[in-house]
Amino acid sequence: MKGVGVRAALMGLGVALLVAGPMSSHAEARDVPSEKQTRLGLLVTATEAAALLAATPPGRALFIDIRTRGEVEYVGHPTGIDGHVPYAELSEFGDWDDKAGRYKVELNSRFGAGVARLAERKSIGKGDVVVLICRSGDRSARAANLLADLGYTRVFSVFDGFEGDLSKEGRRTVNGWRNAGLPWTYRLTREQAYRPAP
């Protein structure tokens, strides 16, 4: 019975999000950092994303994890993603980025094509809902802008991501999909897996 109440509440929130349209003023009211803002202004928390996806009619939404293959494979991903299309990948040669203090990442030049293939496979048009999730909302914002440039008009960025923001202790325990208690898994299906076209 408890699960039914939660599902109904999420669906109600999702319907409200669909009716409300762009959330730029709502997101700005929550002090979303500039690097997580998008030109379309469609910003949602992980909980709001789950509600939006639950309320969107079947066949009218696409949920994409855009993190690296390693993140999806070893950290897990939201249950129910339609697919994985990395926005960026670790440098092929494992180069180090001194400024960022981590391994270098390179943009996936096939990102737009990968999203288009997934959308076509799922019969999703450029005016349908597309929800992007990354680790903490930075990459999904940049990816949302790229898709807007490609003509997609309803691209939502999950601005707290899968793992969420860093706590004062340097751990990702503040917010995000996993910390919200939303369903996730390590198991990636062949249909969800990213396989770049030759």
* CATH code where residue 164 lies: 3.40.250.10
**pLDDT of amino acid 4:** 47
Average pLDDT over residues 22-37: 67
**54 to each of 62, 138, 182, how far by Cα in Å?**
12, 24, 12
Residue 95 confidence (pLDDT)? 85
- pLDDT at residue 148 is higher than 50: yes
User: What's the domain range around 132?
Assistant: 2-185
What integer is the mean pLDDT of 76-80?
96
Q: Is residue 144 part of a domain?
A: yes
**What is the per-residue pLDDT for 104?**
85
173 is a domain residue = yes
Contact predicate 184/76, CB 8 Å = yes
Three-class SS state of 178: coil
Residue 190 belongs to some domain of the structure = no
Report residue 52: phi and psi, to 5°. Answer: -60, -45
Average pLDDT, the chain: 87
Q: Does residue 131 have a pLDDT over 70?
A: yes
192 in a domain, yes or no? no
149 occurs within a structural domain: yes
Predicted structure pTM score = 0.84
In a domain, 40, yes or no: yes
Stronger pLDDT, 8 or 145, i.e. the higher one = 145
Average pLDDT score over residue span 62-91? 95
198 inside domain: no
Percent of the chain topping pLDDT 70? 84
The half-sphere exposure of 50 on its side-chain side, counting CA atoms within 13 A, is 22
Rounded alpha-carbon distances, angstroms, from residue 19 to 16, 28, 126: 5, 19, 19
Domains: count for the chain:
1
Residue 12 pLDDT exceeds 90: no
Please give the pLDDT value at position 30. 66
- Which range among 5-9, 75-79, 154-158, 189-193 shows the weakest confidence by mean pLDDT? 5-9
Residue 71 lies in a domain: yes
In DSSP terms, 118 is beta-bridged to none
For residue 105, pLDDT over 90 is answered with: no
pLDDT at position 65, please? 98
Please give the average per-residue pLDDT across 95-107, as a whole number: 87
Which tokens in the block code for residue 198? Answer: 């030759």
